[in-house]
Chains A and B, each alone.
Chain A
Amino acid sequence: GAVVSQHPSWVICKSGTSVKIECRSLDFQATTMFWYRQFPKQSLMLMATSNEGSKATYEQGVEKDKFLINHASLTLSTLTVTSAHPEDSSFYICSARPPVGAVYGYTFGSGTRLTVV
């Protein structure tokens, strides 16, 4: 089945530092990946759509200069939280949809729990 590997699973960082989160599609090519954020007891909110070889599309209210997305290959998308602040502490999760015709639909990474202290 389709697998998306996300690392790290959790990270604690100091305010002002940057954190990079990676998502890799292991057995399929993902031209598009989605990045979500989930605060406690809230729904997953789409942050941005990552397209291989082009600029990401950010949702309204998401700072593109703060949340840097790079999708340099068909199997890897990265999200970098720059100059992290405590309010950035959240559960970040990526998702991809395997190509048309694949048996499986949307698949998710295992998520990254970010705590900024």
Chain B
Amino acid sequence: RKEVEQDPGPFNVPEGATVAFNCTYSNSASQSFFWYRQDCRKEPKLLMSVYSSGNEDGRFTAQLNRASQYISLLIRDSKLSDSATYLCVVSPRGGGNTPLVFGKGTRLSVIA
């Protein structure tokens, strides 16, 4: 089983649509969770951290279910500029010396 698994995608949605991405992780001791966005041939950029209580940043809502080891990202009112690959990322444990573990990513294409 892969450490971080995501929806395979791609997701092709019209502008204004709501789209949800799911992710599961295998290491129950994982402590930190993130969604990153990666544009083609670019480095990943942090979209948002994910907290147990759930958190929202504008059109983006992230949720974490530790019992199910499940993370989600909801994008409302999709924009053309949201087209990118969304990476589910997990940090196995705390501390600055811990590398991030990346999912394979889910590609989103928002169509006019």
Contact = CB atoms under 8 A, between A and B. Distances in A.
Given A42-B104, A43-B105, A105-B49, A34 B99 contact: yes
A98 B97 CA distance: 10
Interface of B: 4, 34, 41-46, 49, 87, 96-97, 99-105
A91 interface: yes
B96 A100 contact: yes
Interface residues of A, number: 26
A78 interface: no
A49 interface: yes
B44 A46 contact: no
A31 B96 contact: yes
Interface stretch (A12-20, A60-68, A79-87, A106-114): A106-114
A49 B96 contact: no
Contact of B99 (A46, A93, A113): A46
Contacts of B100: 34, 95, 106
B43 A49 contact: no
Contact of A111 (B42, B87, B102): B42
14 contacts: A31-B96, A31-B97, A32-B96, A32-B97, A34-B100, A43-B104, A44-B44, A44-B102, A91-B41, A95-B99, A98-B96, A105-B34, A106-B100, A113-B41
Contact of B103 (A34, A43, A105): A43
Contacts of B99: 34, 46, 49, 95
Contacts of B49: 105
A110 B103 CA distance: 19
A36 B99 CA distance: 10
A49 B102 contact: no
